[in-house]
Chains A and B, each alone.
Chain A
Amino acid sequence: MSGDWPLWEVFVRSRRGLSHTHAGSLHAPDAELALRNARDLYTRRSEGVSIWVVPSTAITASSPDEKDPFFEPAADKPYRHPTFYEIPDGVKHL
């Protein structure tokens, strides 16, 4: 019987109103202990209000080799970004 525990990725919501962000990873035998280890490790200075743990093997990642075709469509749509639009000086709350 092997004692090697699987790897988990940890996501922490640092305060209410923000989304969970990747904090790091850790080893744990199961999800319950992963959650508890994450609490001890990544929030011991009260850095978080909520934690997600995900088995590292459950993450499907885009390959950097496909970087260009995968992300280019977004790069040529500058109209999705607010800075695309010119607004006269002095106009507020836009």
Chain B
Amino acid sequence: MATVTDAGQAAVDAAQAAHTAAFDAAVAADERIEPRDWMPDAYRATLVRQIAQHAHSEIIGMQPEANWITRAPSLRRKAILMAKVQDEAGHGLYLYSAAETLGTSREELLDKLHAGRQKYSSIFNYPTLTWADVGAIGWLVDGAAITNQVPLCRCSYGPYARAMVRICKEESFHQRQGYELLLTLSRGTEAQHAMAQDAVDRWWWPSLMMFGPPDDESSHSAQSMAWKIKRHSNDELRQRFVDICVPQAEALGLTLPDPDLKWNEERGQHDFGAIDWTEFWDVLKGNGPCNEQRISQRRKAHDEGAWVREAAAAHAAKKTARNEQEATA
């Protein structure tokens, strides 16, 4: 008997090894992994976690900006902001769909978000206090997101990469509208200029934190890089973002709130001050200014929408039953 079991186990092991080898070869050759391909459980779990967090960020991220739709100071700005917040809902949908190809339903992911068991980007736990915050989010937060996302268009998992291609294409206007909004304020009245500077002062550091903890403290990075889910390290992307922002801030006529920020000739990059990681971990743990507010609004919308979703499902069931009755009659 023992030999049979051993032989069985050996066959399973061999199949597993063959699968793993095929998967590794596909990733090494820069081929895309598709939903029905075999993949290591840990790869699947990492993707679900990352795509879900990304999707949650899109829909929670609607809130701080939607906060200003009803107060947008011109009809042109109002239309732009509405279109942008709408895009975020759309991007959430694309990403939930990508996660669903891995066998996890949107309902399940939303439940986890609502229960606080899955995260969204901590940046959205900061409040939008003035109109200029809409500009700062577009320029800095979307700018950081794009820096993060462009490499994801080449992510090894096909559906995620395709969703990101679509998202990056649509988001190209998001950052530009934010920049243009800040430029108008910066060149406007004294009060408007001050509003713009104040927003940049508040959003700069949290934006740098969006790239995640430093490489030596990042728990998932190495494996994700090996799987080509991630293409560049947190610190690499953060540096790239800082170097892009410095001349953009100058053109805006605004300063970045970091006295240590200066060009390093030797490195060919900017040096910048130390990030307050205590704040990062604290906000991540749920102690940011808006954590509670964001999640309860999300939960409330979901709970108050339950009867609508049920009604539509009930109507569809009735219709199906009626059609079947007609067919048999």
Q: Which residues of A contact B (CB under 8 A)?
A: 1-5, 7, 24-27, 29-30, 33, 41, 44-45, 61, 63-65
- Would you list which residues of chain B between 297 and 329 have a CB under 8 Å from chain A? 306, 308-310, 312-316, 319
Interface membership of B163, Cβ < 8 A: yes
> Which residues on the A side are within 8 Å of B166 (C-beta)?
24
Residue contacts A-B, CB under 8 angstroms, 24 given: A1-B310, A2-B310, A3-B306, A3-B308, A3-B309, A3-B310, A4-B105, A4-B309, A5-B313, A24-B97, A24-B166, A25-B100, A26-B93, A29-B309, A29-B313, A30-B315, A30-B316, A30-B319, A41-B93, A44-B86, A64-B34, A64-B36, A64-B38, A65-B38
> Which residues on the A side are within 8 Å of B258 (C-beta)?
none
Task: For the complex, give the distance between the alpha carbons of A27 and B109 in Å.
Answer: 14
Closest chain A residue to B101, Cβ basis: A25
Q: Which residues of B contact A (CB under 8 A)?
A: 34, 36-38, 86, 90, 93-94, 97, 100, 105-107, 163, 166, 170, 306, 308-310, 312-316, 319
Task: For the complex, give the distance between the alpha carbons of A30 and B166 in Å.
Answer: 26
Task: For the complex, give the distance between the alpha carbons of A85 and B37 in Å.
Answer: 35
> Which residues on the A side are within 8 Å of B309 (C-beta)?
3-5, 29
> Which residues on the A side are within 8 Å of B37 (C-beta)?
64
Q: Is B170 touching A25 in the complex (CB atoms < 8 A)?
A: no
> Which residues on the A side are within 8 Å of B314 (C-beta)?
1
Task: For the complex, give the distance between the alpha carbons of A65 and B36 in Å.
Answer: 9
8 Å CB contact of B106 from A24, A27, A33, A65? A27
Task: For the complex, give the distance between the alpha carbons of A33 and B93 in Å.
Answer: 15
> Which residues on the A side are within 8 Å of B308 (C-beta)?
3
Contact of A45 with B97 at beta-carbon distance under 8 Å, contacts A1-B314, A29-B312 already known: no
Task: For the complex, give the distance between the alpha carbons of A94 and B90 in Å.
Answer: 45
Task: For the complex, give the distance between the alpha carbons of A33 and B94 in Å.
Answer: 17
Closest chain B residue to A45, Cβ basis: B170
From residue B172, how far is it (CB to closest CB) to chain A in Å? 11
Task: For the complex, give the distance between the alpha carbons of A30 and B94 in Å.
Answer: 19
Contact of A25 with B97 at beta-carbon distance under 8 Å, contacts A1-B313, A3-B309, A5-B313 already known: yes
Q: Is A41 touching B100 in the complex (CB atoms < 8 A)?
A: no
> Which residues on the B side are within 8 Å of A26 (C-beta)?
93, 97
Q: Is B313 touching A24 in the complex (CB atoms < 8 A)?
A: no
Closest chain A residue to B319, Cβ basis: A30
> Which residues on the A side are within 8 Å of B94 (C-beta)?
24
> Which residues on the A side are within 8 Å of B316 (C-beta)?
29-30
Q: Is B90 touching A41 in the complex (CB atoms < 8 A)?
A: yes
> Which residues on the A side are within 8 Å of B306 (C-beta)?
3
From residue A37, how far is it (CB to closest CB) to chain B in Å? 9
Closest chain B residue to A37, Cβ basis: B93
Q: Besides the contacts A3-B308, A4-B105, A61-B36, what 5 more A-B pairs have beta carbons closer than 8 Å? A: A3-B306, A24-B94, A26-B97, A44-B90, A64-B34
Q: Is B163 touching A5 in the complex (CB atoms < 8 A)?
A: no
> Which residues on the A side are within 8 Å of B38 (C-beta)?
64-65
Most buried by B among A30, A45, A63: A30
Closest chain A residue to B320, Cβ basis: A30
> Which residues on the A side are within 8 Å of B97 (C-beta)?
24-26
Task: For the complex, give the distance between the alpha carbons of A1 and B311 in Å.
Answer: 9
Task: For the complex, give the distance between the alpha carbons of A2 and B317 in Å.
Answer: 11
Task: For the complex, give the distance between the alpha carbons of A64 and B90 in Å.
Answer: 30
From residue B114, how far is it (CB to closest CB) to chain A in Å? 14
Task: For the complex, give the distance between the alpha carbons of A25 and B95 in Å.
Answer: 10
